[in-house]
Structure 1
Amino acid sequence: MGDLARHRGKRNKLVKLLIEKGIRDREVLKAIGKVPRHLFIDSSFEEFAYQDQAFPIAAGQTISQPYTVAFQSEKLALSPGQKVLEVGTGSGYQAAVLCEMGMKVYSIERQKELFDATRPLLQKLGYTLYTKYGDGYAGLPNHAPFDGIIVTAGAPEIPKALLQQLKVGGRLVIPVGTNVQKMKVLIRKTEKDFELQDHGDFRFVPMLHDKNH
C-alpha cells in the first residue's frame, strides 16, 4: 500500500479541517499534509485514515486523532533542529509528524509489540529518530535536557523525572487525568520554577507505569 494521489488529496482536506478547528502553526499543518497516516494504521481502516478520529492499534492502544496530534505539536512551540522527547511512540504517527517538522526526535515506548512494529516502519518510511523500549515515566535522562517533551497517553500526575529533563525555556505537553484528561503545558522558567497552562479536555489511553505488565 503506497502513498497515492487519492491519499494526498484526503490529507489536503484534513489540513483544511484542522485550520477550521483552530490549528495555526504552518510547520504543523505542512507536516500533517505530508505524513501518510494510512500507513500507520491497520489496512482495514485505510479508507477512513484521514478522518479526524482515533483508531485502535495493537496492544490495546490507539492512534490519536489528527487534531490532537496537531494540537500537541503546536503547543510544543519548537523550531526545526530542536530536541524533543516523545513518551509513547505508539503507531509512530506523532513521531513522524515531529520528524517532518525538522525536530531531533527521541521516542520511548513501553509496549514491546508496538515498539517492534513501529521502529522498522519509521525506518522504512525514511524517518530518522532515536527510539527506545522502556518506561516513559523515567524519560531518557542520558539524552536530556530536551527543548520539548510530549506525552501521548493520559498520565495520572505529572512525572517529576520528565520535568527534570526539560531545558530552561522548554515545554512539557501532557494530558493529565484518569477518564478525561486536561491538556497541560508546563514551561520551565528557571531551574526550580514552572509556568502551568491548561488547555481543555481530551481523551487518551492511560499511561502505564510498569513496562513488564
Structure 2
Amino acid sequence: MNLPLNSLLDRQDATENARYNMVHQQVRPWNVSAERLLEALYTVRREDFTPPAQYSLAFMDVEVPLNDDVNAIENGECMLQPRVEARMINDLDIQPTDRVLEIGTGSGYSAALLSKLAQDVVTLEINPELADMARENLADADCTNVNVRVADGSKDTLPEGPFDVILLSGSVEVLPQALLSHLKEGGRLAAIVGQKPMMRFTIVTKQNGQTTTKTPWDLVVPRLQGFATAPRFTF
C-alpha cells in the first residue's frame, strides 16, 4: 500500500533530523572537523548501507550487526559507530589524489565515505556475502571509484598497490608490519591495535624510508578476521 504524501514527507524529515543529530551530537564532538568529510556524512546515506532489519539503528551510536548471526558483532561483521568510522577517516587527512586501501569492507559505508575524499578506493572483505552486499550498496550510491575484492587482508597479495592510505576498519592485536611495505612514500596506515580493556587508534606514517607512530586516542572495537595475535606467556 502506498503511503500518503504527508507520511512520506514526515519520514524523510525524521531521517534527515536523525542524520543531522548523528553528525552534530556524535561525530563533531569527537574531534571530527574535516569539512569534506562532514559533507560526505550528509551525502552518503548511511541508512542505505544498513540491513533493513537494523534500520532503526542506522544513526545510533552503536555497532550494527550485518547479518542474523548472534555473534555477528563479536565476529567483526558489523558497522562501527558513526563517530568511530568518521574519526578514523578524519585523522588520516585524505587528499583528493590519494589511493586508499581499506581492509574490512562490511556493508561498504566507510568505503563510500572514502570514495568522496580520495581518487580511488580498493576495499577487501573476507566474507563473500558481505562483499556482495557492499558491491550492491556502493553501486546504488553511485560510488564508481571503489573496487570491492574478496580477500584476506592479512595475507593476500595486493596487486593494486602501493597506496597513499591504508585503513583497517576493525581491530587487530598487533600492528600488521607486512602492510607497511604497501605504503607509498608519505603514506599513512591506520589501525586500532591492542586487547581489551584498552585498544589504541594507531597511525603509522612512512617518510624517507622510516616510520613514525602516533596513538592519539583509545577505544575498543571488534576484531578483523585473519590477523596475527600477540604472543601469549606460558608457565
With structure 2 as the length reference, what TM-score do the two structures score?
A: 0.82
Shift of 1:44: 3.0
Q: Which whole-Å deviations, capped at 9, do the CAs of 1:44-83 have from their partners, x for residues lacking one?
A: 3323311222211126211010111111101111111311
Matches within 5 A, 1:40-119: 40-58=49-67, 60=72, 61-119=77-135
Q: Structure 1 residue 9: deviation in Å?
A: 2.8
Kindly state the Cα deviation for residue 161 of structure 1 after the two structures are TM-superposed.
Answer: 2.4
SS in 1 for 2:53: helix
In structure 1, C-alpha distance between the alignment counterparts of 2:226 and 2:166, rounded to whole Å: 17
CA positional deviation for 1:140: 5.1
- Match of residue 205 from structure 2: 187
- Which residue identity does 1:186 align to in structure 2? V
Residue 100 of structure 1 and its aligned partner are, at CA, apart by 2.1
Between stretches 43-52 and 67-76, larger displacement belongs to 43-52
1:186-212, CA deviations, whole angstroms, 9 ceiling, x for partnerless residues? 000122x100000222222212218xx
Match of 1:171 in 2: 188
Aligned pairs, how many? Answer: 208
Indicate if the aligned counterparts of 2:104 and 2:123 stay in contact, CA closer than 8 A: yes
**Gapped regions of structure 1 (runs ≥ 5):** none
Of 12, 16, 23, which aligns to 1:8?
A: 16
The ranges of structure 1 where at least 4 consecutive aligned residues each deviate by more than 4 angstroms after the TM superposition are none
> Deviations 1:86-138 (Å, cap 9, x if unpaired)?
00001111001111224411100001221122112211221121111011113
Name which of structure 1's ranges 181-190 and 101-110 shifts more when overlaid on structure 2.
Answer: 101-110
Matched residue, 1:21: 30
Q: 1:77 to 1:4 in 2, by over 3 A?
A: same
Superposition CA RMSD, Å: 2.0
| Paired amino acid for 1:86 | E
Superposition deviation, residue 166 in structure 1:
0.6
Secondary structure of 2:174's partner?
coil
Letter of the 2:44 partner, please give it.
Answer: V
Residue 134 of structure 1 is matched in structure 2 by: 151
1:120 corresponds to 2:120: no
Q: Is the 2:154–2:226 Cα contact (8 Å) retained in structure 1? A: yes
Higher Rg? 2
- Once the two structures are superposed, residues 125-170 of structure 1 have per-residue CA deviations (whole angstroms, 9 ceiling, x without a partner) of 2112111101111365311111101001211212122111011111
SS in 1 for 2:154: helix
**Percent pairwise identity:** 26
State the SS of the aligned residue for 1:23. Answer: coil
**Higher alpha-carbon deviation: 165-174 or 34-43:** 34-43
What TM-score, normalized to structure 1?
A: 0.90
The CA distance in 1 between the partners of 2:35 and 2:125, in whole Å, is: 28
2-structure distance, mates of 1:142, 1:47 = 39
Does the 8 A contact of 1:168 with 1:188 survive in 2?
Answer: yes
